[in-house]
Amino acid sequence: MKIRLAVMNEKTSRIPRFYEKTLQQRLGLLEKGGFISAEEHKFLLARQGGLPFNVANEMVENAIGVLELPLGTALNFLINEKEYVIPMAIEEPSVIAAVSHIAKIVRQYDGFKAQSSDPIMIGQIQVVGVPNSSQAIQNIENAKEELLTMANACDPKLISLGGGARAIETRWLEGDDHRPMLILHLLVDCRDAMGANLINTMTEKLAQRVEDLTGGSVYLRILSNLADRRLAKATCRIPFEGLGWRSFSGKEVAEGVQIASEFATADPYRAATHNKGIMNGISAVCIAVGNDWRAIEAGAHSYAARSGKYGPLATWHVEGDYLIGEIELPMAVGIVGGTLRVHPTVQTNINILNISSADELGEVMATVGLAQNLAALKALSTEGIQRGHMSLHARSVALSAGASEVEIDEVVDAMIDCGEVRADRAETILLSLRSDKNEK
Ligand code: MEV
């Protein structure tokens, strides 16, 4: 793992009361803070960021439209001493507020530290019916350089950027009826690309030569989403004094979070929900930057099960007067190619992040996952999540019941007070609010 050098800048992602502003004011603040250009400001304000139908039509089959998601920005993130405003595309309320809240705490204590391994992806070639296993392995061993050269010939640009096929490994597996399968792993440094197309091209290219060398038949040639050579890791260290919340002391919160973490380590049922929350954060950034969130989800969950037992991607423990959190997971993301080139808003989102490599993007995403996890565990191990969740949910319920901008706060408060956040309740509250006003 390498630690990215700190980039000192004068920007700050700490923008107080951002959530209270109008769209115009928010974009103005982002421009003033150096996170978007004047052009991007105009572009976002005019809501020109949607995918044009003609582009969507080139991307998938049988297109009939495009589907929009809310795009928000997580604030307050200080990662490796660099300020980040982080775009997140997500339909679920609370997630953006939750990660921004944790980032605001962590930035007071040196911020998050993040690092990543080299961007190495794995391509798999499955060979069956190998007549002589030791001879096959020997032949592959002798031909490694030749195979790597063949793979690298598929993408001279990648080589010029410092990437390329690095190694070949072999494994034996058993299929049904103990049928032996030889699996070749081609390890490729993908630099700033996610790498799926690249790897699939390379593995297909090698197939015939692998059959010649092994005497077997090649079946699958495809990348693995268990990208366990391309990891990102993030950590944070918060003193108890930073964690006090409502009636709970910082020590109580820290111990609650540690106990919640132990639950996820002991129980796959809990670990699944713990990790779902983490992916709320990670996938939202992934979508905003036009990356393949299914690949990230598959990598994350398979990595969580790598010991044979499904476990948490992030863990927390108390050390002295500190709560320490750590997350590690595969991060097969790219900042070149794919959707990045065609979606008008994706490039703006990458600009807002101000990242210079796919590794850095992975580090930011891992950090957001860690922040989300702390927000969830902090709430779950103290007052529960419903209160915070419900106030945001109540806003959309009030809106869908027909509350206007001036009515919405009153309707939300009334629903929360009576503990009934439902459309029928919102309608009743609205009726009585309007009749009270008419009577006055
Ligand atoms: C909800 O989308 C996510 C949580 O369930 C995560 C968790 O339980 O840790 C709150």
Check which CATH number belongs to the domain holding 246 and give it.
Answer: 3.90.770.10
Q: Name the residue at shortest CA distance from atom 2 of ligand 1.
A: 277
Lowest mean pLDDT among 257-271, 296-310, 312-326, 422-436: 422-436
Based on the fold, state whether residues 238 and 93 are members of the same structural domain.
Answer: yes
| pLDDT tens figures, 235-294 | 999 999 999 988 999 999 999 999 999 999 999 999 999 999 999 999 999 999 999 999
Q: How confident is the model at residue 394 (pLDDT cuts 50, 70, 90)?
A: confident
Q: Which of 355, 383, 411 is the last residue of a domain?
A: 383
- CA-nearest of 317, 290, 314 to 303 is 314
385 lines ligand 1 (CB under 6 A): yes
Look at residue 392 in the predicted model and tell me its pLDDT.
75
Look at residue 167 in the predicted model and tell me its pLDDT.
98
Residue 168, pLDDT above cutoff 90: yes
- CA-nearest of 74, 42, 5, 18 to 280 is 74
Q: Which of 177, 197, 223 is the last residue of a domain?
A: 223
Based on the fold, state whether residues 6 and 74 are members of the same structural domain.
Answer: yes
Residue 292 annotated in active site: yes
Residue 92 annotated in active site: yes
| pLDDT tens figures, 46-60 | 877 778 899 899 999
Based on the fold, state whether residues 160 and 279 are members of the same structural domain.
Answer: no
284 lines ligand 1 (CB under 6 A): no
Q: Which residue has the higher pLDDT, 213 or 387?
A: 213
Count: domains in the chain: 3
Q: Which of 223, 249, 284 is the last residue of a domain?
A: 223
Q: Ligand 1, residue 274: give the atom nearest the CA.
A: 9
Q: How far apart are CA 425 and CA 432, in angstroms?
A: 11
Based on the fold, state whether residues 251 and 359 are members of the same structural domain.
Answer: yes
Look at residue 269 in the predicted model and tell me its pLDDT.
98
Best residue among 99, 101, 102, 280 to mutate for probing ligand 1's pocket (most ligand atoms within 8 Å of CB) is 280
Q: Name the residue at shortest CA distance from atom 7 of ligand 1.
A: 274
Based on the fold, state whether residues 255 and 240 are members of the same structural domain.
Answer: yes
Check which CATH number belongs to the domain holding 409 and give it.
Answer: 1.10.8
Based on the fold, state whether residues 429 and 358 are members of the same structural domain.
Answer: no
User: Phi/psi of residue 321, each to 5°?
Assistant: -100, 25
Query: How far is ligand 1, taken at its centre, from the CA of residue 141, in Å?
Result: 47
Q: How confident is the model at residue 389 (pLDDT cuts 50, 70, 90)?
A: confident
pTM of the model: 0.90
Find the domain containing 200 and state its range: 120-223
Based on the fold, state whether residues 247 and 302 are members of the same structural domain.
Answer: yes
273 lines ligand 1 (CB under 6 A): yes
280 lines ligand 1 (CB under 6 A): yes
| pLDDT tens figures, 249-265 | 999 999 999 999 999 99
Average pLDDT over every residue of 190-219:
97
Residue 310's SS3 state is coil
Based on the fold, state whether residues 143 and 275 are members of the same structural domain.
Answer: no
Adjacency order of strands within the sheet including 113-116: 2-3, 113-116, 231-239, 322-330, 314-319
Q: How confident is the model at residue 4 (pLDDT cuts 50, 70, 90)?
A: low
Q: How confident is the model at residue 173 (pLDDT cuts 50, 70, 90)?
A: very high
Based on the fold, state whether residues 315 and 344 are members of the same structural domain.
Answer: yes
97 lines ligand 1 (CB under 6 A): no
Residue 223, pLDDT above cutoff 60: yes
Based on the fold, state whether residues 160 and 293 are members of the same structural domain.
Answer: no
